[in-house]
Amino acid sequence: MADVRKAGTAEDWQPLCDLIKDALVAKLAEQDHNATGALSDSIEVIAKELPDRWVIEALANIYGKFVNNGRRQGAAPPPIEVIYEWMRQRNIASEVVKETQRRGIAFVIARSISQRGIPPVGGYSQHYSKGNSLKRTGWVDDVVAENEEKIYELVEEVIGKVTDWIIFNKYKHTATFFNNGNK
């Protein structure tokens, strides 16, 4: 008998992959993490066939883990170029500020992230457009929790298709056996 852990095809699992990807992208926007769109654009959710089962794999740019988990106080500062690009996208330090001053501001932000973490401990993040009350971490965890019921439904749908197929083939084999005069 077939193992339901090995149920279905990549095509059968695609609706689940689409649900997860769409929910991840929406959650990033909800948490105001879409300055450049690079993280949202990097999300890829695929059904991957292993020898004994299917797994759903969600891939994204490496900094997605910091967006999900935050960054602890005392960690190494992020690269200044990344902060500089983020500032440019958020229109922080306008064009009237000289290039060297903008790089200096990026350095100060990177140092602050290193000292206070993300989200900042003991501070107010006024640069966020929706204020400091908006949840800033846990986007992956939230997507799984908020979509748990639908995820189970889609998994059951794929497993149900395979179970129906197994039962049909077992019945077909049994019917053929008896119809050929075998007892």
User: What is the residue-wise DSSP string for the chain?
Assistant: ---GGG-S-HHHHHHHHHHHHHHHHHHHHHTT--SSSHHHHH-EEEEEE-SS-EEEEEE--TTHHHHHH-B-TTSPPPPHHHHHHHHHHHT-S-TTS-HHHHHHHHHHHHHHHHHHTBTTTTS--TTSTT-TTS--S-HHHHHHHHTHHHHHHHHHHHHHHHHHHHHHHHHHHHHHHHHTT--
- The answer to whether residue 183 is domain-embedded is no
Residue 19 and residue 38 share a domain: yes
pLDDT of residue 124: 46
Q: Which domain holds residue 95?
A: 71-128
Residue 121 and residue 154 share a domain: no
Are 159 and 4 in contact by the 8 Å Cβ rule? The answer is yes
Our count of domains for the chain comes to 2
- The answer to whether residue 181 is domain-embedded is no
Per-residue pLDDT at 113 exceeds 80:
yes
Residue 56 and residue 42 share a domain: yes
pLDDT of residue 14: 95
Are 137 and 70 in contact by the 8 Å Cβ rule? The answer is yes
Weakest mean pLDDT among 53-62, 121-130, 155-164: 121-130
Weakest mean pLDDT among 2-16, 44-58, 118-132: 118-132
Report the candidate in 89, 44, 82, 85 with the shortest Cα–Cα distance to residue 63.
82
The model's pTM: 0.70
pLDDT of residue 17: 95
Residue 63 and residue 42 share a domain: yes
Of residues 58 and 2, the one with the higher pLDDT is: 58
Indicate the average pLDDT of the chain: 79
pLDDT of residue 1: 38
Report in angstroms the alpha-carbon separations of 1 from 11, 17, 49, 157, 173.
22, 27, 19, 19, 13
Residue 96 and residue 8 share a domain: no
pLDDT of residue 180: 52
The pLDDT of 12-27, averaged and rounded, is 95
Residue 115 and residue 90 share a domain: yes
- The answer to whether residue 182 is domain-embedded is no
The pLDDT of 122-150, averaged and rounded, is 72
pLDDT of residue 58: 92
Cα 87–chain centre separation = 24
Residue 63 and residue 13 share a domain: yes
